[in-house]
Amino acid sequence: MIVTDIEGTTSSISHVHDVLFPYSRARIPEWVRRPEAAAVVREVAADPDEAAAILIGWIDQDVKATPLKTLQGLIWAEGYASGELTAHVYDDVPPVLRRWSSDGVPVYVYSSGSELAQRLWFRHTQHGDLLGHFAGHFDTVSAGPKREVGSYQAIAKSIGADPAELTFLSDVAAELDAAEQAGWHTVGVSRPADGSPDVGRHRRITSFAELL
Ligand SMILES: CSCCC(=O)C(=O)COP(=O)(O)O
Ligand SMILES: [Mg+2]
């Protein structure tokens, strides 16, 4: 069974930072006053303007804070619905997803982006709707932070899998270390277009094509 990260793994970091983050950043001052955002905004601060300043600060520092990720999912939903946003997925990913689907290999997503944001992402890619290739989704609400061993233990329990049956794909060495400590297999995805990040001593690939 496969569990994959999104940003830097299936998809480019620059798309997240140059397209998605500015889209949500520009809309936060208006969104913090919307009734559908009230619960998540209250988790940040009692005053909406104060909450907006904190949320924007988190975007600028790329803090993977759960209330920010929840709110971004809601904001991006409008962008996908209007056609303003299309998610990026590297060209080498869809053929591998199709192969795993035809071989009956279950594939899950584990990202700091909310489960809503993940579903929207794979439903609206430049390759079309890829969501059907995934068996399930995990985020920091359902599993916990990505650098903690307990998050990978929680995912294995939720899937009902032995840790040794699971392989985690990520561009971040600290995430791979945590998965490995939970007894998972790991593959470091070091994409040249994302600056070839150092994935430590984990098996290193530069394209999903190497997984076929
Ligand atoms: C669909 S998630 C959008 C990107 C995002 O907000 C994010 O934090 C991605 O983090 P990842 O854990 O996928 O590296
Ligand atoms: Mg990543």
Q: Domain ranges in the chain?
A: 2-12+87-211, 15-82
Q: Which of 17, 64, 147 to mutate to test the pocket of ligand 1 (most atoms within 8 A of CB)?
A: 64
Q: Which of 112, 168, 191, 199 to mutate to test the pocket of ligand 1 (most atoms within 8 A of CB)?
A: 112
Q: What is the pTM of this model?
A: 0.96
Which superfamily is assigned to 2-12+87-211 in CATH? Answer: HAD superfamily/HAD-like (3.40.50.1000)
Listed as ranges, residues in the chain with pLDDT below 50 are: none
Here the tokens at position 114 are 């909310």
Interface pTM (ipTM) of the complex? 0.96
20, 30, 67, 181, 209 from 142: Cα distances, Å: 23, 28, 13, 19, 30
For 151-177, write each residue's pLDDT tens digit.
999 999 999 999 999 999 999 999 999
Q: 117 CB less than 6 Å from ligand 1?
A: yes
Is the domain 15-82 a CATH 1.10.720.60 member? Answer: yes
Q: 58 CB less than 6 Å from ligand 1?
A: no
Gap from CA of 41 to ligand 1 centroid (Å): 20
